[in-house]
Amino acid sequence: MTVAPNGRTASGRLAGRIALITGASRGLGAAAALAYAGEGAHCVLVARTVGGLEALDDRIKALGGMATLVPLDVTDGPGIDRLGAALHERFGRLDVLLGNAGVLGALSPIGHIEPKLFEQVMAVNVTANWRLIRSLDPLLRASDAGRAIFVTSGVSRRVVAYWSAYAASKAALDMMVGVYAAESAHTKVRVNLYNPGPMPTGMRGEAFPGEDQATLPPLEAHAEGLIRLALPSCTMNGQWVAGDEALSVL
């Protein structure tokens, strides 16, 4: 048994750990939050929608867990900085960062994409994660085993027509996270990328509106892989982990 940050005793592989998850109100973020809370972590849930956060909080409480709700748009850079300061004041460290928030943008010929939309995709998928690293890296270093995980996509590594904005943003994320991992190699922080593959989410529905999402692996299938990447025992660093291979390599 471990004493959690809320003063309660907690059990599980992440007992007493503090995990921050962006894009937490739905989809993979919500599934990860439930998985981490189920293993005893205190989850800091970041998303724009208050209602979604409150609904997830109810589910976490039903598991006997506790969460801190942070209604925040990840493109609010100063807001991310304030979050880092607040976490430092309250906890003094961060054990797990899951950079999950992302947007698809538009599937369109590259020359037809509106500048404002292209910039939004980059702001959410790339710049926001840089701001998270900038603000939270000192807290991860203050942990005995800081773990940073960023959600990527297979389209970052292959050329697919009409996916320019999203693919470019994920390719940029991959490189940025790889550099962060290299810079963290001689610390206790470990940094990796996680590609979940096809998932039954709203974003997937935007990209493939005619697809039967019931045929896709459930979101819960990613729980174990994301837990293992968050564990202090995880020694991998700078790796690109595919969801369907996660359990065989972790």
List, for residues 125-177, the tens digit of each pLDDT value. Answer: 999 999 999 999 999 999 999 999 999 999 999 999 999 999 999 999 999 99
Torsion angle of C-alpha atoms 18, 19, 22, 26, degrees rounded to 10: -110
Active-site residue, selected from the candidate residues 36, 166, 180, 194: 166
Query: In sequence order, what E strands does 23-146 have?
Result: 42-47, 67-71, 96-99
- Cβ neighbours around 209 below 10 Å, total: 7
Residue 111 has pLDDT above 50, yes or no: yes
Amino acid 1: pLDDT: 42
Q: Is 166 a catalytic residue?
A: yes
pTM summary value: 0.93
SS3 of 3, please? strand
Amino acid 8: pLDDT: 55
